[in-house]
Amino acid sequence: MRSRVVAGGGLTWPATPPQLYKVGSEAFCEVNRRVLLGRAVGDALAFEVRYFEVAPGGWTSFEQHEHPHAVLVLAGRGVVRLPDGSQPIAPFDVVYVAPGEPHQFRADAAERLGILCIVDAERDRPVLVPE
């Protein structure tokens, strides 16, 4: 694919349709994602840039995997659950999730949480962590 701009309309990126976060799982609530850059959309990159939107009061699955990832909060407020406990997160906070460590993102009840997640293009599958 050639160089390009993925035009945003706020935090919507109209040319990039939202996808279900995960299919066939009840381990999350009210989450969708957009792959903005990466092999999945034809880019010659060793990583993917994905945007996740968690609805007010929603959450991602509590999971772990062997690949690290970096997360930048772009919108809303919430908490990230990590091995050392839950920490509040707000716009422009950056979270590093280390390999093998359980994690989960939760939106506050009153607002959507928008996070940009950068991961390796080739990575292992997440494993749900029992509550």
Task: Tell whether 44 is covered by a domain.
Answer: yes
pLDDT at 86: 97
User: Percent of the chain beyond pLDDT 90?
Assistant: 68
Supply the pTM of this predicted model. Answer: 0.91
Task: Tell whether 15 is covered by a domain.
Answer: no
Render the chain in DSSP notation, one character per residue. --------SSS--TTS--EESSSS--S-EEEEEEEEESGGGT---SEEEEEEEEEEEEE---EE-SS-EEEEEEES-EEEEETTEEEEE-TT-EEEE-TT--BEEEE-TTS-EEEEEEEESS-PPPEEPP-
Mean pLDDT to the nearest integer, 57-67:
93
Domains identified in the chain, total number: 1
Catalytic residue list contains 29: no
Domain residues for the domain of 46 are 30-122
Task: Tell whether 12 is covered by a domain.
Answer: no
Residue in 40, 117, 119, 120 annotated catalytic:
117
